[in-house]
Structure 1
Amino acid sequence: MHTPHPTFTNFVAVGDSFTEGMSDLAPDGTYRGWADLLADRLALDTPTLRHANLAVRGKLIRQIADEQVDAAVALGGDLITLAGGLNDVLRPRCDVGAVCAVFEQAAAKLAAGGAHLVLFRSTDPTRRLRSSARLMPRIEQLVAFVDTVAARHDATVVDLFTARVFDDPRMWADDRLHLSTEGHRRVAEATAQAMGLPAGFDWRAPLPAAAPQAWTDRRRADMRWARTHLGPWLARRVTGRSSGDGRPPKRADLTLWR
C-alpha cells in the first residue's frame, strides 16, 4: 500500500465514536482519542499543523456521509481520516452492500478534494464479544471493501483487524465497545506507522500478563456491564435513538493544534 511522506498541514478526522475518542478521558474530562494523539505526533514535525475532528459518536455511515464529508471537503484538509460502517454492521438488520456503496461515495468525495486518505480495517469484535460471531460475514465484507476503496484512491490503510492485541479486554473501556486509553494509544501508533512515521513502539505487542480473575468476579462484571451499558444500548436501538443525537463535533473548525 502507498506510504506518503508524512508532511501535512491540515488534518481532518471524520467518523463515529472511534474517531471522536470515546472513552479516552483527558484531564479536563473531555475525550481525547487516537486522532488527537496522531495530531500531537504530526505537530512535532509541523508546528503549524491545524486539526479538526468532525466525528460524532453513534453515527451510521450515511450520517457520516451526509453530515461530515462535505464539511471536511470545505475545510480543505490535506490529510483526512475516514472510519465508519461498523455501527451499521453491528445492527440486527444491515444491507452491507448499501453500507459499502455509501462508504465508497464518501471516500471518493474526500479524495477528489486532493486530500490523502487514511482508512481503517476495523478491529475484530467477534474474538472478544462472542455474541457478535454471527456478524463475521458482514464484518469481513466491510473490511475487504476498505482495501478495495483504498486501492482506488491510493489511500493508506491501517490494519487493526489482524492485530490480536485488541482481543485483550484491557484495550477496551468498561462498556466493551469503545477503546480504552491504551487502545487509543495503540491505534494512534498504528496509524502513524502506516503513514510512514518512525516507529515509537511495537503497537501489536501483547500487554503484560494480567492477574487471573475469579469466575464469580467475572460474572459480577458481566452483570454490571449488562445493567450499565447493554441495557441502555438496547433501549436506544428499540426507540431509534443514538448517543450522538444533537451532539456537535468536538472540533468543527481547522485550528492551530496546541
Structure 2
Amino acid sequence: MEKNATYTSFVALGDSFTEGMSDLQPDGSYRGWADLLAARLAARTPGFRYANLAVRGKLIGQILDEQVDTAVAMRADVVTLVGGLNDTLRPTYDAGRVLGQLEESVERLAPACGQLVLMRSPARRGPVMERFRPRWEKLFSFVDELGARHGALVVDLYGAPVLGEQRMWDVDRLHLTADGHRRVAEAVWQALGGEPADDWRAELAPDLPQGWLMRRTGDARFARQYLGPWIGRRLTGRSTGDGRPPKRPELLPYEPLPGDAGVRPEQA
C-alpha cells in the first residue's frame, strides 16, 4: 500500500514481544507496542479493526500452526509478524527448521494482506546475551531477504543502539519497558508512512553508574525471580503461554483506552 494510505484493519502475530510484556497496566493486563500502534491507526480511521493473536512464549513453529491461518483469513490491511527469537534461546535450536518455518509463515501471509511488516527484533546488550548474537544476526539477515522477496516492510529495531540499553528492559531482562514499547510503536508507525511524533532512536539521558552492591543485588533478584524459573521451564518443556488464549483473537472494532500513549489530537 502507498505511503500515508488509510489502514482500516491490523492483525499482530507473535510472542510476548507483541503481546506487550512488560508494559503493565493498572488492571494487571499488558498493553505494548501493537496496542499503541492500533490506537494511533484507529484515531484517524473510524471503524478501525484490530486483532492481536500473540501469546507469550510461542516458538515460530507454534506461531505458524496456531496464528498464521487465522490471520490469513482476516485479510487485514496491515499484518505484523515477529517470531523466532524464542527459538534462538533454546539449546536445541535448529536454524534450518526455524528459518523454514518463518519463510512458510511469510509466504502465506504476504499475499493475504495489504502490507506485511517484519522486524529485526530489539536485543538487550549484556554478557549473557552475547552468546546468542550470531544466531540473532543470521535470523535477521534472513528477515531482510524475506522482506525484499515478498514486498514486506522490515523495521530495524536491532540496529537502534538505544533499544539495547539496559534501561529499556524490564527487571526480567527479557521484555521491553513501557518506553521501549512506545518507541517500537513509533518505529512501525513511521515505517507505515505516519507523520513522526518523535525520534524513536533518540539516546537516553546519561545515567549515574550503579555501585557494585546494587548491581549484585539486582543480579541475585533476577536469578531468583526470573532466570531460575525460565531454566526450569526450558528443562521441562513448559512455556508461560501454555493454555493461554490470544489477547484479541478476533478482528473487531478497536476503541483505544484513555491515556494510550501516541494518540495525539493532531494525528486523529
Shorter-chain TM-score category? over 0.9
Find the counterpart in structure 2 of residue 22 from structure 1.
21
Residues 111-162 of structure 1 show CA distances to partners (whole Å, capped at 9, x for unaligned) of 121331000011234xx23122222221111000001110111111110111
Counterparts of residues 137-148 of structure 1 (less than 5 Å): 137-148=134-145
Aligned to 1:167: 164
Give how far 1:28 is off: 2.0
Is 1:187 matched with 2:184? yes
For the 8 Å contact 1:6–1:197, the answer to whether it is kept is no
How many Å apart are 1:55 and its aligned residue?
Answer: 0.1
Number of the residue aligned with 1:155: 152
Match of 2:105 in 1: 106
C-alpha distance in structure 1 between counterparts of 2:127 and 2:29, whole Å: 31
Partner of 1:10: 9
- Matched to 1:223, the amino acid is A
Q: Could you tell me how far 1:76 is from its partner in structure 2? A: 2.1
Looking at structure 1, the residues matched to 226 and 148 of structure 2 have their Cα atoms a distance apart, in angstroms, of 38
Give the equivalent residue in structure 2 for 1:217.
214
State whether structure 2 residue 81 is matched by structure 1 residue 82.
yes
Question: Does 1:130 pair with 2:138?
Answer: no
- Partners of 1:175 and 1:3 lie apart in 2 by 39
Distance 1:227 1:134 in 2: 22
Tell me how many residue pairs correspond in the alignment. 255
Q: CA deviation at 1:3?
A: 6.4
RMSD value, Cα: 1.3
Aligned 8 A contact 1:124 1:162 in 2: no
Deviations 1:15-37 (A, max 9, x none): 00000000101232210000000
- Could you tell me the TM-score, scaled by structure 1's length? 0.95
Q: Distance in 1 between matches of 2:178 and 2:204?
A: 13
Corresponding residue number in structure 2 for 1:233:
230
Amino acid at match of 1:244: G
Tell me the distance in 2 between the aligned counterparts of 1:229 and 1:32: 21
- Asked if 2 retains the 8 angstrom alpha-carbon contact of 1:76 and 1:113, the reply is yes
Contact kept in structure 1, 2:169 and 2:177, CA below 8 Å? yes
Write out per-residue CA displacement over residues 140-197 of structure 1, whole angstroms, 9 at most, x where no aligned residue: 1100000111011111111011100012222111100001101100100011111111
- The 1:168/1:114 distance shift into structure 2, 3 A limit, reads closer
**Distance in 2 between the 1:194 and 1:152 partners?**
18
Q: Does 1:95 align with 2:94?
A: yes
Query: CA contact under 8 A between 1:3 and 1:194: conserved in structure 2?
Result: no
CA distance in 1, matches of 2:20, 2:252: 18
Give every structure 1 segment of 4 or more consecutive aligned residues whose post-TM-superposition deviation is greater than 6 Å: none
Deviates more, 1:246-255 or 1:26-35: 26-35
Could you tell me whether the CA contact under 8 Å between 1:117 and 1:155 is conserved in 2? yes
Give the alignment's TM-score, normalised by structure 2: 0.92
- After alignment, is 197-206 or 22-31 more displaced? 22-31
Change (3 A) 1:99 1:3: farther
Residues 100, 3 of structure 1: CA spacing in aligned structure 2 closer, same or farther, 3 A cutoff?
A: farther
Which ranges in structure 2 are unaligned for 5 or more consecutive residues?
256-268
1:44 counterpart = 2:58: no
Quick one: distance in 2 between partners of 1:163 and 1:48? 34
